[in-house]
Amino acid sequence: MKNKSIILGALFVLLGVSTANAQINFGEKALGAVQKGVAGFTFSDADAASLSKAAVDKMDAEHVITGAKDPYTLRLNKLFGKHKTTEGVALNYKVYKLNEVNAFATADGSVRVYSGLMDIMDDNELLAVIGHEIGHVVNTDSRDAIKAAYKKEAALGLLASQSDKVAAITDSQLAKVGSQMIDSKHSRKQESEADEFSYNFMKNNSYNVNAVSSAFAILAKMSEGAESSFLEKMMSSHPDPKERAENAKLRAEKDGLYKPYVKQKPVVAKKAPVKKKK
C-alpha cells in the first residue's frame, strides 16, 4: 500500500495535479470529509491533505492574517506569487501578523509565514526559507508529519480510526493534531533534502543562492539559547547548525556562484515618497 501511495503521489506530480488540489475545494466541509476519510482502515494522502487543510483553517481563524493591502501581504505576494505552483504542487500562502520567527508548510500546500520572520530577513533570505518549506511539501515530509500526528492520536485511542465507525474528531483534537503537525521535527535527512531543495529553488529561479547560507546563519545564531519551536525544528536535528549554512556556501562555491552575501536594505517596504511624473 505504501508503495502504491508513493507511485500515485509521483503520478500526480507528473501530471501537474497535486492531491492537495482536490482537497482544497472541500472548503468548510473539510472536517466532515476528514471524519469520513479516516473512518476506514487506511489514512490516505487525500486524508492527510484534508486533515491538514482543516487544521490550517483552524489556525488561520486563530491568527491575525494581514490584509490585502498590508505591506507584509504585498511583499509576500511579490515573492511567493510566482511560485504558487512548484513542481506541480499547488501552494497557497498567508502572513500571520505576529512577532515570532516562524514559518510552516502543511500537506495541503499551505505555507504560513509570520511577520516576525519577515522582519529579520531580506527578500532573498525569505525566499530561501520559503524554498525550504516548499521543499518539505514537495518531498512529502509535511504529509508524513500529519500522518504521524494523526497516528499518535489514534494510538492513544483518542480517535476511532481502527473501527469502521466514523472517527469523531472534536475541535480540540483537531487543534492537537494541528499543533503536533506544526511542531513535529523532521529527520536530519529530510532537513538536508529541504535545504538542498531550497538551494536548487534559488538557483533555478536565478535568485542569489548565497542568501541560503545567510538565512541559515541568521537562524542558527538566533537558535543559540532561544526557545522557539520553529528554530528548534529548523536547527536541532543537526549537531552543528552552522554546518547547514556552510553546506549551502560550499555548493555555491562549487557552482561558481559564491559571493559574500550583502544583505539587502529595505526589509519591509516603507511607503516611498510619491514622485510626480512630468
Instruction: Return d(Cα 132, Cα 278) in angstroms, integer.
Output: 44
User: To the nearest whole angstrom, how small is the minimum distance from the Cβ of residue 195 to Zn ion?
Assistant: 8
- Tell me if 147 sits within 8 A of 43, measured CB to CB: yes
- The H or E element spanning position 77 is helix 71-80
For the record, the C-alpha cell of 235 comes out as 536547527
Is the Cβ of residue 194 or residue 245 nearer to Zn ion in the bound state? 194
User: To the nearest whole angstrom, how small is the minimum distance from the Cβ of residue 178 to Zn ion?
Assistant: 18
Phi first, then psi: what are they for 110, rounded to 5°?
Answer: -85, 130
Is the Cβ of residue 34 or residue 194 nearer to Zn ion in the bound state? 194
Site string for Zn ion, 181-200 (x = CB under 5 A): ----------x--x------
Q: Is 133 a catalytic residue?
A: yes
Is the Cβ of residue 173 or residue 229 nearer to Zn ion in the bound state? 229
Closest-by-Cβ residue to Zn ion is 194
User: To the nearest whole angstrom, how small is the minimum distance from the Cβ of residue 132 to Zn ion?
Assistant: 6
- Residues 194-253 touching Zn ion, rule: CB under 5 A, are 194
Instruction: Return d(Cα 146, Cα 156) in angstroms, integer.
Output: 15
Tell me the number of residues near Zn ion by CB under 5 A: 2
Is the Cβ of residue 136 or residue 174 nearer to Zn ion in the bound state? 136
Number of Cβ within 10 Å of residue 203's Cβ equals 17
User: To the nearest whole angstrom, how small is the minimum distance from the Cβ of residue 167 to Zn ion?
Assistant: 29
User: To the nearest whole angstrom, how small is the minimum distance from the Cβ of residue 136 to Zn ion?
Assistant: 6
Is the Cβ of residue 20 or residue 129 nearer to Zn ion in the bound state? 129
Number of Cβ within 10 Å of residue 88's Cβ equals 15
Active-site annotation holder among 28, 87, 133, 227: 133
Strand 110-114 relative to strand 85-86, pairing = unpaired
Can you tell me which residue has the cell 492527510?
Answer: 48
Q: Quick one: CA dihedral 176, 178, 179, 184, positive or negative?
A: positive
Q: Which residues does the annotation mark as catalytic?
A: 133
Give me the residues that bind Zn ion (CB under 5 A), please: 191, 194
